[in-house]
Chains A and B, each alone.
Chain A
Amino acid sequence: MTTSVLEAVRSEPKAAAAAPVHIEATGVSKQYGAKGVLALDQVSLSVRDGEFLSILGPSGCGKSTLLRCVAGLERPTGGEIRVHGEPVRKPPANMGVVFQRDVLLEWRSILDNMFLQVDFRGEPRSRYMERAHELLDLFGLKGFEKAFPAQLSGGMRQRAAICRALLANPDLLLMDEPFGALDALTRDQMNLELQKIWSASRRTILFVTHSIGEAVFLSDRVVVMSPRPGRIAMTLTIDLPRPRRMMVREMPEFALYCGQIRALFGDMGLLKDE
């Protein structure tokens, strides 16, 4: 039975491979200062439309730097990044970013926080009102529209931050260790919710994390990076049935993927398991 399910989903990555390229990074390097730290060294990567791709690595491997370069918040010192064929020179339109900290504005209610970008653009809020309420409903924040961030728990705050990133319906969602500050249980719950919203809309998600389990659970592909200078050490296609439930984590295939990554970390000398 397991094999038939696996076979059924194995066809999926092939279909994804046919999708047009969304993000194309070619030989991207980033050096801080003339003789400073080389954070990224010749990183090439292509992400397809609707793909869920995780960048996994230890702290200081440049995974956040790569994401920031895609977001147009930093300029690579070498190579080029294209989003839908356009070279990234400033933050691309149609992009939502979720940071590790929720960065909600304390003086705005949850609903007003969601409208930050709309306010920046000077667009009428009414255009997005319906979608805002849908998102809040979807993320279990119904009834908290008028609440202020200080009144919410860490998990709820991060949910609000994700709602904010999704309001303008971006086709690209960049997430920089979004659940790193949450407790384990809330983190699992958020993984399930994120998978749900991704499955429903199939927007491209670039997800940076240092959690092996989280990356394997969520992704179509996991890109593992080595520390200083940041290079791609391994790319792993995750062939696990979707929608994935928490139980997937108990499957031998899941353990195998995680084991492969852990072994690689071991080879890099990052994990000393005597």
Chain B
Amino acid sequence: MNEDVTRLRRIWDMCAPTATIILMFVIWQVLVGVFHVRQVILPAPSAILEALAAQPGWFMQEGLYTMLTMLIGFGLAVVVGIVLAILIVEVKLLENTLYVLIAALNSVPKVAIAPLFVIWLGTGYGPKIAIAFLIAFFPIVIDSVLGLKSVSKEMLDLASSMRAGQLAQFWRIRLPTALPSIFAGMKVGISLALVGTIVGEFVASDHGLGYIILTAQGTFETAQIFAANILLGAAGIVLFWGMTLLERRCVPWHASQRREM
């Protein structure tokens, strides 16, 4: 009896998010039909699906272009962000100079410098990767520094009492301690990287979902704009979910990952 209840609960927990989204689309479809909303203002889900089905290859290709750009930018942000965080924590001088500079630059709206990258890097992959990198880099570096500094003094005392070298302390204690924070930064970073890529495509591009949105706006193909946005939303969910899965694999001990034991 009790087992049945828990099983039902588990099934409900799994289905609830999907059911909510489906319900939202149903209500949307009905409201658009009832109030005769013009398609150029708000297309019904069925119209959006039609737009997607009309050119599936095109959406797929442009979607992959955006994803690839975004992943390169994000990957660079992860590598550079973590390496810089390590240097900032290990080298006192960098903490007082570079880290202060990074914290200050973080308050500049990165989106506002997007046009600069077009001037510097042209209209190809370059500026989009640069913007995705720049926007994802800050949370990663800041959270990683936070994590690397959160090692308790007693923990380091323990390692010293065991006569462990600096490098060994880093690999066996500092890095694992910092991992939950690093993942927190990466989860924020991956969502921002997608935003950055789209902004880059808005500014100057002839490819990608951002480009689709911009051209569809020019021709009032509202359904296409919605189609691209739904794809972006889906991509965002998949990416975040992927990061969470990776986090569970790498940081199974972390409190926020712990299931009831």
- B-binding residues in A (CB < 8 A): 68, 71-73, 90-91, 93, 95, 97, 99-101, 103, 105-107, 116-117, 119-121, 148, 150-151, 174
A127 to chain B, nearest CB (A): 16
- A-binding residues in B (CB < 8 A): 152, 154-155, 157-165, 168, 172-173, 176, 251-255, 258, 261
- Pairwise interchain contact A119-B253, C-beta atoms closer than 8 A: no
A contact residues around B158 at 8 Å (CB): 97, 99, 103, 116
8 Å CB contact of A148 from B161, B165, B253:
B253
B contact residues around A116 at 8 Å (CB): 158, 162, 172
A156 to chain B, nearest CB (A): 14
- Pairwise interchain contact B154-A101, C-beta atoms closer than 8 A: yes
**A interface, over-half SS:** loop
| Residue in B closest to A68 when the chains form the complex, CB atoms | B157
B contact residues around A107 at 8 Å (CB): 176, 251-253
- Pairwise interchain contact B163-A120, C-beta atoms closer than 8 A: yes
8 Å CB contact of A95 from B161, B172, B176, B255:
B161
- Pairwise interchain contact B253-A120, C-beta atoms closer than 8 A: no
- Pairwise interchain contact A103-B154, C-beta atoms closer than 8 A: yes
A contact residues around B155 at 8 Å (CB): 103, 105
A222 to B259 Cα, complex, angstroms? 46
A contact residues around B255 at 8 Å (CB): 150
A contact residues around B164 at 8 Å (CB): 117, 120
B contact residues around A99 at 8 Å (CB): 154, 157-158
B146 to chain A, nearest CB (A): 17
A contact residues around B160 at 8 Å (CB): 72-73, 91
- Pairwise interchain contact A73-B161, C-beta atoms closer than 8 A: yes
A contact residues around B251 at 8 Å (CB): 107
8 Å CB contact of B162 from A101, A117, A151:
A117
